[in-house]
Amino acid sequence: MGARGHSPHGPRRRAGDPTDNTVRRHICAEAARIVVEEGVRDYHAAKRKAIARLNLPSDKNLPGNDEIEAAVAEYLRLFRGARRDTDLRRLRALALDAMDFLKRFEPRLVGAVLSGNITADTPIQFHVTADTPEEVGLWLHDQRIPFEQSERRVRFGGERQETVPLFRFNADDVTIEMCVFAREDARELPLSPVDGRPMKRANRREVERLLAEPGSAG
């Protein structure tokens, strides 16, 4: 009986192969470093950049955004420690002040300042509600606040995507971003780009609680 030839592609690895898991961890670690140290906020872009730097194939062992999020949290814990905690408390305190300022639009805190995974130049992000986007723009104008207006794509259940107005302005050297939702649509939560689940939102009382709890920056 003749000997069987070996596949030119090497042995096929099964799901959960330790080598694949090690590669994924390397990608996650490098992507986390890119997010924190270089301020790349888009996890997909950070993954692609990490793969290129590690000279790895772009179609294998690609981690999910939730894995990158966990790696960013670990990187911050290991290398930013007390500085991250101080910065996070400051941003959450500023978010609380902004929520008072924006209370007519029922602001809800979302994003990195809520999750705690803050990096360089992290903006404070809110979801707000208004009858029309023009209402928000006119109000900011009346308050003599310079702002920029653009749009952001958000995803809902059933793969539905919508474009919502985005207002951006600066306060105390921090960027404030507001996605504006119509009042009748405000109860439906967009899906998180990190894990695909409904986004976490926090009202003013919940942000106050975060600041009041011991170790709230963690």
pLDDT, one tens digit per residue, over 38-92 is 988 889 999 999 999 999 988 788 899 999 999 999 999 898 878 888 999 999 9
- Looking only at the bridges linking them, the beta strands covering 174-182 and 108-110 are unpaired
User: Tens of pLDDT along 99-121?
Assistant: 999 999 999 999 999 999 998 78
d(CA 187, CA 97): 23
Confidence of residue 21 (pLDDT cuts 50, 70, 90): confident
Confidence of residue 216 (pLDDT cuts 50, 70, 90): low
pTM for the model: 0.79
Residue 14 carries which DSSP code?
P
* Mean pLDDT of the region 175-187: 89
pLDDT score of 2 more than 70: no
- Residues above pLDDT 70, as percent of the chain: 89
Given this model, what pLDDT does residue 62 score?
87
d(CA 173, CA 216): 23
Give the three-class secondary structure for 130: strand
Q: Which two tokens stand for residue 16?
A: 């959960």
Enclosing H/E stretch for 73: helix 65-79
Contacts of 24 (CB under 8 A, 6+ apart): 61, 63, 67
- Looking only at the bridges linking them, the beta strands covering 174-182 and 124-130 are parallel
pLDDT score of 3 more than 60: no
Maximum pairwise Cα distance, the chain? 88
d(CA 81, CA 65): 22
pLDDT score of 19 more than 60: yes
Q: Taking the domain 81-212, which CATH number applies? A: 3.30.460.10
User: Tens of pLDDT along 127-138?
Assistant: 999 999 999 999
Q: Is the dihedral of CA 28, 29, 30, 32 positive or negative?
A: positive
Phi-psi region at 159: left, alpha or beta (left = phi > 0; alpha = psi -120 to 50): left
